[in-house]
């Protein structure tokens, strides 16, 4: 094997040779060098110690081994790495993980802000922040594996924004607009528990649990982590009646099923896409001047609980967050009026 030293080696008799150079951009297994005019005509095989593409595969495999769901792997990990980071590395002739130093990573942030993603469309600072956070998670994994030092991409500075959450009166309007008991229970369950769309459609009758006078639903959360979420007795009874009143032809255990029998398939389990569409339509029927979706009800629940004095640790457990970071972000949704009301209530508590 020829190693790159201080000068370009003399052309060998056989043009196919191994050339160990991390600065050369790979194009195929037998590659054409692009970083030196003196060797660009040779067919060469470039050997890399830690190619980024292979490390990304290992990183995603590690996530699957830790029990992350396929949806989490696809939405929160693989897209940003395979469709954002890797193409950027190829354009900048970066192959080895060691080449991703702080200066290179700062260029990544800058180019995403200026030129956008893979289709060159303009990206918001919030989208770029999401991309960069996932790149940094990958780099943290590489650091734990002893592959890189303390390197980190600089996230963009984000403007403060207030999320226009739903008031309790708007939630009531949403429920009143629903035409079936199934849809009414769905609205109330999302609004009073803050569970995710995927968690709601995964509920089964066996997930309804009682302990003396307390009522719970067992929620199957992210990362295969189950948690118990308290329910008000009235909502628990409504959910129980819905579960027990499903059509006899249903061949699965999910509580929420389609309202119409599908030809040849019967009553199917409600999907997350179906739930998204349902909530959007209910928001339009209720005349709400905002885009209504299941996650907005989750944000609304969190904001309401914080305004009513629930502590962040309790709320974090109910919502199924692994840390308080997401709860702290929820405070950004509060309006000045919310903060004023919370402060006055605290000052007059005695």
Q: Average pLDDT of the chain?
A: 80
Name the percent of the chain lying above pLDDT 90: 45
CA distance 221 to 308: 25
CB 194 within 8 A of CB 297: yes
Q: Are residues 176 and 300 in the same domain?
A: yes
| CATH code of the domain in which 297 resides | 1.10.443.10
Same structural domain for residues 99 and 176? no
> What is the β-pairing status of strands 17-20 and 43-45?
parallel
Q: Which of 72-76, 246-250, 291-295 has the lowest mean pLDDT?
A: 72-76
Count of domains in the chain? 2
Per the domain annotation, does 11 fall within a domain?
no
What one-character-per-residue DSSP string does 241-295 give?
HHHHTS-TT--S-BS-B-SSPBTTTBSPBPPHHHHHHHHHHHHHHTT-SS---HH
Find the range with the poorest average confidence among 9-18, 60-69, 260-269, 341-350: 9-18
Answer with the one of 144, 160, 185 that is the final residue of a domain: 144
Could you tell me if 44 and 91 are in contact, meaning their C-beta atoms sit under 8 angstroms apart?
no
Confidence of residue 349 (pLDDT cuts 50, 70, 90): very low
Q: Is 321 a catalytic residue?
A: yes
On the question of pLDDT at 331 being above 90, the answer is no
188-236: per-residue pLDDT in tens?
999 999 999 999 999 999 999 998 889 999 999 876 788 999 999 999 9
Residues 104 and 138 in one domain: yes
Determine the Cα–Cα distance for residues 74 and 172; give it in Å rounded to an integer: 35
Residues 135 and 172 in one domain: no
Residue 119 pLDDT exceeds 90: no
Range with the poorest average pLDDT among 150-154, 193-197, 335-339: 335-339
* Residue-number span of the structural domain to which 322 is assigned: 168-347
Alpha helices in the chain (DSSP H): 52-65, 70-72, 86-91, 102-115, 125-144, 168-177, 181-193, 197-201, 233-244, 272-285, 294-307, 312-319, 325-330, 336-347
Report the number of secondary-structure helices (H) and strands (E) in the chain: 14, 7
Active site residue 196: yes
Active site residue 298: yes
Q: How confident is the model at residue 327 (pLDDT cuts 50, 70, 90)?
A: low
More confidently predicted of 184 and 335 = 184
Marked catalytic residue, from 48, 220, 331, 333: 331
Average pLDDT of span 232-261: 91
- Asked whether residue 248 is domain-assigned, the answer is yes
Options 152, 218, 222, 227, the catalytic residue:
222
- In this structure, are 219 and 70 located in the same domain? no
Looking at the structure, tell me whether residues 73 and 185 fall in a common domain: no
Residue 133 has pLDDT above 80, yes or no: yes
Summarize pLDDT for 36-93 with one digit per residue, the tens.
333 333 444 444 456 898 999 999 999 888 887 787 788 777 888 998 999 999 999 9
226 forms beta bridges with 220
Within this chain, do residues 83 and 125 fall inside the same structural domain, yes or no? yes
Range from 234-238, 278-282, 326-330 carrying the lowest mean pLDDT: 326-330
251 is catalytic: no
The answer to whether 78 touches 175, Cβ cutoff 8 Å, is no
Query: Looking at residue 322, what is its pLDDT?
Result: 72
For residue 59, the model assigns a pLDDT of 92
From 184, 196, 215, 299, active-site residue:
196
């Amino acid at each position: 094997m020829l190693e790159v030293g201080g000068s370009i080696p003399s052309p060998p008799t056989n043009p196919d040779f191994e050339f160990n150079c991390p600065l050369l951009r790979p194009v195929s297994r037998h590659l054409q060098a692009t970083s030196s005019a003196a060797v660009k005509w040779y067919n060469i095989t470039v050997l890399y110690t830690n190619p980024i593409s292979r490390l990304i595969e290992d990183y995603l495999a590690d996530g699957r081994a830790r029990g992350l769901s396929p949806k989490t792997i696809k939405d929160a990990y693989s897209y940003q790495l395979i469709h954002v980071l890797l193409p950027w590395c190829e354009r900048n002739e970066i192959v080895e993980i060691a080449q991703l130093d702080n200066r290179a990573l700062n260029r990544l942030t800058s180019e995403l802000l200026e030129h956008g993603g893979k289709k060159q469309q303009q990206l918001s600072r919030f989208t770029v922040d999401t991309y960069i956070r996932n790149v940094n998670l990958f780099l943290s994994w590489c650091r734990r594996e002893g592959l890189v030092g303390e390197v980190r991409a600089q996230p963009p500075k984000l403007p403060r924004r207030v999320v226009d959450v739903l008031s309790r009166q708007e939630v009531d309007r949403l429920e009143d607009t629903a035409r079936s008991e199934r849809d009414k229970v769905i609205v109330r369950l999302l609004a009073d528990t803050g569970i995710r769309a995927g968690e709601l459609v995964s509920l089964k009758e066996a997930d309804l649990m009682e302990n003396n006078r307390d009522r719970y639903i067992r929620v199957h959360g992210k990362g295969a982590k189950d948690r118990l979420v308290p329910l008000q007795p009235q909502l628990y009874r409504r959910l129980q009646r819905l579960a027990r009143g499903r059509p006899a032809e249903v061949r699965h255990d999910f509580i929420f099923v389609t309202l119409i029998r599908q030809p040849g398939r019967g009553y199917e389990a409600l999907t997350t896409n179906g739930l998204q569409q349902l909530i959007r339509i209910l928001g339009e029927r209720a005349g709400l001047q905002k885009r209504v979706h299941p996650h907005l009800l989750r944000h609304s629940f969190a904001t309401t609980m914080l305004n009513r004095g629930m502590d962040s640790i309790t709320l974090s457990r109910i919502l199924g967050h692994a840390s308080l970071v997401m709860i702290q972000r929820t405070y950004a949704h509060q309006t000045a009026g919310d903060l004023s009301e919370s402060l006055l209530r605290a000052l007059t508590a005695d």
